[in-house]
Structure 1
Amino acid sequence: MKRLLRVAAAVSATTLVLTACGSNSGASDDSDASASGVITADDCADPDAATAEITDTLKVGWTAATSGPLADAVGNVIEGMEARFAVANEAGGIDGVKLEVIVKDDAFNPERAKANVGELIQKDKVDVLDTFGSGQVDAIADDQNDACVPLLFAQASVPAYRDIENFPWTTEYLPSADVEMAVVVEGLKKQYPDGADVALAVNQTESGQGIADGFKKAAEGTNLKIVAEEPLTDPKTAASTLKASGAQVLVDAGVTTDCLALTQAIARVGWKPETVIQPSNCADGATLYEPAGDAADGQQILRWLKDPANDEFKDDQAVQEYLEQTEANGADSPTNSYTVNGWAIADLMVDNFTRAAASEDGLSRLSIMEAARTQDYQPPMFIDGIKFMMSPTQSYGILAFKPYTWDAAGTTFTPAGEVIDISSSYE
C-alpha cells in the first residue's frame, strides 16, 4: 500500500478520471473495495478503532503552519473553523458529541507534518485530520491511511491525491489544479482568440508545481504559448526574467505567500502584463491585493466563497448570519477570506458528521469517511450555484467558480461574469 501511495503522489497522470455519479450501496462482495468506492476497515492497522463509536468528543487534528509566513492565513482558517464548531456545540453538537480542534505547528514543513500526525493519532487520539499543503498530504499519507483516520478537506489541490484507490481515507478541499486551470485556460482563449504568450511563475512546492502542471496540460493544443517559466524562490528575480519574455499573460502558480510578493516584484521591475492570473488560494483582498496598490489592478481570480467584505453580498442572509455567529464566537477577523474558508470547511465537516451519526452504524471514523464519499452539499457561504460534490468512486470536489477582477481604486473584487459550472463535463 505504501508503495502505491508514493507512486500515486509522484505521477501526474493519476488525475481525475471522472465518471457518472453513483451512490454508496454499503457492503460489497468486490474484493478490491477501494477501487469500487466502498470504504471498509479491512486493511486498517486497527479495524476496531476505525469502526468504534465516537462518544463525548470528536477531535479534529490539524497540522499546519502556525509559524512563518503562512501563519496569519492559517490562523484565520482555524479561527473560522473553531467559530463554526462553537455554533454546532451550542446547538448540542452531533447528537450530543462535542467538536474540538487540536492544532500542531509544522512550519509548512512536510516532515514536521508527518511527526505531528503521528502524535495526533497516537497521543491525542484524533478522529479526523486536516492539513495545509500538498507536500504535507504526501508526507502524512502512509501513516494516516494505514491508521484509517479520515483526512478531510485538505488544503491541497494536486490531482493525484484524488485517486481513491490509493488514498481511500483522504479528500481535498481546494479545487483540483487541473480543473481550475482548465477554467482559466478557457477564459484566456476567449480573451485572446488569436493566442497569447504566457509566462509562468512557479512555487517549487508540490502545490505550485501542481498548478503549473495543470495549466500546461490545459493549454496543450491551444494558441496559448508558454514562453518563459521561473521559480518563485526570489520573486524579484523571477519578475525580471519573466518580463524579458514579453509575455502578455502572467500566471502565478503559487501559494498564498506568493500572491502579494509577486505583484510587488513585477511593480518594482516596471512590468505590467496585460493579464495577471492569481490562483484561487489567493483570495483575501485586504491582505494580498490592497497593499500592492495600482500594481494589483485588474488581476484575475476564480472564487467560490462569498466575500463578507464585498458589497455584492451585503444583503445576503447567509453572510449576515455568518457575521453574527463568528463575532459571537470569538472570531477576530470575520471578513477575512481565510476565516470564511475555515468556517466553510467546518460546515462541510458538520454536514458529514451529522449524516454519519444518522447512519445505521452511528458516528465512527468509518461512517464519517463513508459520508465524505457521498457528499453533495452547498455550504451557505459558497456562492450560489457552487457546491461540494463527491461520489463513492470519484473525488469531484468543487467544479464551479465565479470569475472576479481586482479593482484597486475601489479596493474590492468585482464580478467578471457569471458562475462557470463545468460539472457536466465530468458526468
Structure 2
Amino acid sequence: MTKNASDGSPDTAAPALSEAPAKISPKRVLAWGLWDWGSAAFNAVVTTFVFTVYLTSDAFGEEAVVSAQLGWALATAGVLVLLFAPVTGQRSDSAGRRKLWLGVNTYIVVALTACMFFVAPSPDFLWLGLLLVAAGNVFFEFANVNYNAMLAQVSTPKTIGRVSGIGWGLGYLGGIVLLLIVYFGLIQPEVGIFGITDENGMDVRATVLVSAIWFGLFALPVLLAVPEYEGVGARRTKVGFFASYRRLFQDIRKLWRESRQTVYFLFASAVFRDGLAGVFTFGGVLAAGWFGFSQGEVIIFAIAANVVAGISTITVGLLDDRLGPKPVIMASLIGLVATGLLIFFLHDGGKLTFWIFGLALTLFVGPAQSASRSFLARLIPAGREGEVFGLYATTGRAVSFLAPAAFALFITVGGEQYWGILGIVLVIFIGLLLLIPVHAKQQQLR
C-alpha cells in the first residue's frame, strides 16, 4: 500500500482485497455467512439472554456478588484476548492456516458450550460456569479474528460491503430462530420438548446443548466450501511464540508508516463499537428496570430487535458498496445518538416509548457494525488481514470498560437508571467525533 506523503493515508483502494476472487461466489458467501448464523448460539444464548442470566440467579449465590464475579471473569477473558488476539491472527496469516484455526477455535467454543450442561444450579458449580463462559469468550474472539479475515476471500472490492452485511444480518436472524426454538420449546413452557422442565435448571442446561449442536453444524459450511488462505501473507514460515510478538511490533510500526488511517480507524472504531455493544448489553436492563418489561417481554423484544437489526443490516450493506462504508457508519452513529436522546427525554412514556425508539436504535446498530468491518477490510495491506483483525479485536477489548463505566457514572450522577442512556450516547458520540477525520478515499473499481 502506498501512502499520502502528508499524512500516511492510503491513496489506492483496498490492497487487502488483492486476494479477492475475480467474481463473487454465492455458494462461498452463503457458507461464510452461515458461520455468523451459527455463532448466534454463543452470542444470544450463552453471553446475553440465557446462560449468563441463569448463572447470575440466586441459585448460585447473592445476585450482586455473583454478577460481580461474572464481570471479573469476563474482564480476565478480555485481558487474554488483548494479549493474544493480534498474535493469533498474525500467525495464521504467515502460516497460511487461517481456515484451520477458524475451525480449531470454533469447535473449542462448541465443546465449552456443551460442557455448560454440567453446571447445575448450585454455588458449588459457579466456578465451573464462570470458567466455561470466560474461556468460551476467549476462543470465540480468536475464531472471530480468522473469520473476519476471510471476508476478503469471499468478496470482491465491489461487493465487500454487501457480503459483510449478509454475514451480520444472518447472525441476527440466526439468533432470532434459535431464541424462538429454545424459548418456546424449552424455557417458556412448564414442560418442554422431551418432557424437560426447569427442575435442577434442566431447561437452561438443555438449551446450551442445543446451542452447541447449532453452532457446530452451521460452522461446517465455511470450512468445507471456502479454500484455505493462499494470499500474499501466507509465507508458511514457522515463527516461535515470543518471536511472533517481536514481529507484531515491527508490523505495527510498518502499519503506522504505510497505512496510518488504518491505525486511526482502529482507535475510533474501538470507541464507537463499545457504545454499540452497550446498546444491546444494557438495553434489556433498561427495558426491565425502568420501562417495566417482564422477563418474557424482554426476550420477545430481543427477538423483535434482532429481526429489525438483521433486515436493516442486509439492506444497508448494498449502500455500503455504493456510497462507501464511512457514510453508512456516520449516518448510523448519528441515528443512534439522536434516538438515544429521544429515549432519555421521553423516559416517562412507558413500554410503548421503548418499543418504538428501542427498535429504532436497532435499525442503526447492525449497519454500523457491518460497515465497520468492511471499512477496515478495505484499508488493510495485503496479507495482513488476520493480524489487523486481531488488532481490531484487541482495541475493542482495550476500551470495553467505556460504555459500562459511562452507564454507571451517569446513573450515579442522575440518581435514576434511565440516566445511563446518556452514558451510552456519550460513548457513541465520542466515537463519531474520532471517526470524522479518518480518511476513507477508495479507488472506485468499475
What is the TM-score with the length of structure 1 in the denominator?
0.26
* Structure number with higher relative contact order (C-alpha < 8 Å, ≥ 6 residues apart): 2
More strand by share: 1
Bigger helix share: 2
